[in-house]
Structure 1
């Protein structure tokens, strides 16, 4: 049964928001949230109220002379309610579900269709046997990135609980670009331009990569991550838990998955949210796709946890510069528009590189708990070869019926090639977890030679 939800107070008024080139991600953000109980009417009412402060989601995509815009047209949002008598209960799934078809029945995915397709869809499924509720949300990526999405869903969660949405209030107009800073020879922009490929080539490579790999899920408790940081930060107080987690994955792959030093991961690309770094450009209030992919410099010792973590931190710090961001923003805007016209995409991953696209700072299950603290579970889908997605852990229900959540723990999803190497990598990770990383030391090169010989 589908009904249509209007904003309680329409506030779009037909205003138009011109999208940046970096906003032009023609996909949807699809998520599933699982609750032990739910008042569906109350959720509908909360959505209606939330749309009043998020009028961009009641809009439609329009294109005029190659300019992409969202017209805030105060349209209704489809809200589908259905019941399921087949599932005994919601299964125990990782945060990132490998088989997308498992989640598909619980999500009405937004499609890219100019002028007619909603930018947001909701689907609620009631599991009759377990009395659980599955809430599937799908949002057009053209509206914004993960941060934008979680801001909206947290506002919905607050209003559902009859609480005030947390500040700051969203700003939908995109940031202003300084056209004088345009520089298509800027190294980061030039690299994207040179390595962009035809969409058909990208999808062919994606399908081939998926057939040759399988998804693995690595879980780390909050205590284990603190332990890793204590090993990896050494004398660099700026190195974070997240830096050392990424570095640990890299050096463990280099020790146990890759057979020779020529195969080692030598560089990592970090996808970073740059809001609030320079408030004169982009503030925390801005809704949009304010993310940038930053390559690290080459690792000086690809088997050292502290050295690798430090280089990752240095890469992230490069964007904390107003001149850098201004130049990148306007240049990426121009380049992305041109790539779209040419039918190319800028997904770049060199040999000896990996990508980290992390949601570690966003506790999805907690931010969208609808008041059910430590009882909401969050899931999403899709993983890629050597493309690491990091999320916080879901809560767990014990045999006594009580829910607990390890706040600050993480689960990492990635696809890696099948076979014996994958098994050795997983065995090494399992052993490290069991031994509390007793053999992970700053002097990793010694360990590598012990396992692989002196070549």
Structure 2
């Protein structure tokens, strides 16, 4: 994948005759299908060794509302990078001065390892020893998720505030809302688990992305 200075494609769509609820069925953060709000350039595109864009935007107008769909490839950056990009985009859209430094896409150019280095570490990297085709990975994923059902569960902002007050008040360090919600979910799962969950890694709080209390 090569990073270039190519322009970012922007699709514009007007759905003024349809309500926004025709796509967003509720105000959940996670939606069943947001593909109508995403650029057609990112639809099933194979960007590896191709000339497909890594970043695409789509503006959809719904009456007096506007949706900005962003298709972001992980090559451009991790969750923190995307968070800062979206935060800056939001501020510019509101004609505000960005809080973060100007966003740049830079990648280090790592030379291929020598034969000696490759031989030394080959046995320690399992995915190089036992690589699978996309078909095999897909089959393994379906098998691992057999019997898994989607469950939607929502807490209101008032319930989250009460939860944070209860959980956060029982410890001596600051906890985010996400920390408290994760602890609540784990506590419920442990009620029915034969082997209770003892350690949780919460990737949502990497780099303090979410609301840490001040």
TM-score by length of 2: 0.68
Q: 2:160 aligns to what?
A: 221
Write out per-residue CA displacement over residues 73-126 of structure 1, whole angstroms, 9 at most, x where no aligned residue. Answer: 2x22211111225633434231011x22xx111111633323411121111122
Q: Please state whether the residue corresponding to 2:76 is helix, strand or coil.
A: coil
Q: 1:204 aligns to what?
A: 139
2:15 paired with 1:84: yes
Distance 2:11 2:36 in 1: 12
Distance 2:16 2:96 in 1: 34
Q: 2:35 aligns to what?
A: 104
Distance 1:85 1:155 in 2: 27
Write out per-residue CA displacement over residues 38-65 of structure 1, whole angstroms, 9 at most, x where no aligned residue. Answer: xxxxxxxxxxxxxxxxxxxxxxx33xxx
Aligned counterparts, 1:171-250, within 5 A: 172-174=105-107, 198=132, 199-208=134-143, 209=145, 212-219=148-155, 220-231=159-170, 233=171, 237-238=172-173, 240-241=175-176, 242-250=178-186
Q: Please state whether the residue corresponding to 1:212 is helix, strand or coil.
A: coil
TM-score by length of 1: 0.36
Distance 1:200 1:267 in 2: 33
Distance 1:246 1:132 in 2: 33
Distance 2:105 2:37 in 1: 29
Higher relative contact order (Cα pairs below 8 Å, separated by 6+ residues)? 1
Q: Please, which runs of 5 or more residues in structure 1 have no aligned partner? A: 1-60, 63-69, 277-358, 363-407, 409-455
Task: State the 1:142 CA deviation.
Answer: 0.6
Does structure 1 retain, via aligned residues, the 8 Å contact 2:160–2:181?
A: no
Does structure 2 retain, via aligned residues, the 8 Å contact 1:94–1:217?
A: no
Selected match of 2:62 from 111, 117, 127: 127
Task: State the 1:193 CA deviation.
Answer: 5.5
Give the direction of change, closer, same or farther, for the CA distance of 1:121–1:134 in structure 2 (3 Å limit). same
Does structure 1 retain, via aligned residues, the 8 Å contact 2:57–2:68?
A: yes
- Tell me how large the CA RMSD over aligned residues is: 3.8
Task: State the 1:203 CA deviation.
Answer: 2.3
Higher relative strand content: 1
Does structure 2 retain, via aligned residues, the 8 Å contact 1:107–1:138?
A: yes
2:85 paired with 1:152: yes
Give the direction of change, closer, same or farther, for the CA distance of 1:197–1:360 in structure 2 (3 Å limit). farther
Does structure 1 retain, via aligned residues, the 8 Å contact 2:55–2:71?
A: yes
Q: 2:117 aligns to what?
A: none
Q: Please state whether the residue corresponding to 1:213 is helix, strand or coil.
A: coil
Q: Aligned residues, how many?
A: 192
Does structure 2 retain, via aligned residues, the 8 Å contact 1:78–1:121?
A: yes
Does structure 2 retain, via aligned residues, the 8 Å contact 1:81–1:124?
A: yes
Does structure 2 retain, via aligned residues, the 8 Å contact 1:84–1:125?
A: yes
Give the direction of change, closer, same or farther, for the CA distance of 1:167–1:116 in structure 2 (3 Å limit). same
